[in-house]
Amino acid sequence: MSLEKRVEEIEKRNKRVELDKKWETSWTRKLCILLLTYIVVIIYSYFISKYNNILFSSLVPVIGFFLSTLSLQLMRKFWEKNINKE
């Protein structure tokens, strides 16, 4: 592999890592996680109100986190498009 190609690959990787760092610390990501977890807790609380089982109730944060990881990919793509316009 030529030196130019190696430098180009390193620069691409560095840009990708910088974007990952921006995403991880962005308010967009934090607010999305907050909002999605809140929505999940509301829905979950509505359905769980009939039961009082600690094992069942403990699923709230787990489900909220899991759903936020699934849906944040879509939000990240939208965020990346907008951040690259700057």
SS3 string of the chain?
Answer: CCHHHHHHHHHHHHHHHHHHHHHHHCHHHHHHHHHHHHHHHHHHHHHHCCCCCHHHHCHHHHHHHHHHHHHHHHHHHHHHHHHCCC
Measured between alpha carbons, how far is 5 from 8 in angstroms, rounded to an integer?
5
- pLDDT of residue 15 exceeding 60: yes
Q: What's the pTM?
A: 0.61
Task: Write down the pLDDT at residue 85.
Answer: 64
For the chain, the domains span 26-83
Task: Write down the pLDDT at residue 14.
Answer: 93
Q: What is the pLDDT of residues 23-80, one digit of tens each?
A: 888 888 888 888 887 887 787 777 777 766 777 777 777 777 787 777 677 788 888 8
